[in-house]
Amino acid sequence: MSFVRPEAKEAIWRWREVLVALGVLILGAYWAFGTGALLHWLGYFVLAAGAVLLVTGLQRGRFRGNRGGPGVVHVDEGAVAYFGPLTGGAVALREMTMLRLDPTGKPAHWVLSQPGQGDLHIPLNAEGAETLFDAFATLPGIRTERMLAEMKRARGAPTVIWQKPGFTTPPSLRADANS
């Protein structure tokens, strides 16, 4: 028997890094401003670490969306695999040429492109989709704040979130690249 409502448990789990960061910030503030000597100086370092944790926790919390979508995402050793009810596949992150967000699908999808194979479409709410944040963060030059803003907007035409440096955007997608 649980004394915590499922919605509250879900919210706590979604924002877990932010809650840990707040705890670290409180400890750092106590040490920096409430004690003396060595703990005083150590508190400033803990405050800085808490601030970094807070920023990354906020980004991760914003990336996590609803669950219960079709299929399962698995990220392992630089490869993203999606196992869906109708489609699936795998893409090597270092071979990826483009990442798009397609809000026209129901639900919205990530579209991962790799030369020599068809695009991999992954619903934003697929089981395990939260692991894509760390995978996408390894892409050279990706702007995570822009990615999060596009996820929040999630309407309109498909948008190019990232493309490999030196890769030429196909003519059919050039209008997206400027948005």
Its domain, for residue 156, covers: 72-177
Residue 82 within a domain: yes
- Beta strand segments in the chain, E: 72-76, 79-83, 88-92, 98-102, 109-113, 120-123, 159-163
Model pLDDT, residue 32: 94
Question: Do 165 and 81 sit in the same domain of this protein?
Answer: yes
Model pLDDT, residue 6: 85
Residue 171 within a domain: yes
Residue 161 within a domain: yes
Give the confidence band of 173 by pLDDT, cuts at 50, 70, 90.
Answer: low
- All residues at 6 or more sequence positions from 116 whose CB lies less than 8 Å from its CB, including other chains: none
62-71, 104-113, 119-128: which has the minimum mean pLDDT? Answer: 62-71
Question: Do 59 and 76 sit in the same domain of this protein?
Answer: no
pLDDT, mean over the chain: 88
Total structural domains in the chain?
2
Model pLDDT, residue 170: 65
Residues 68-94 have pLDDT tens digits of 789 999 999 889 999 999 889 999 999
Residue 17 within a domain: yes
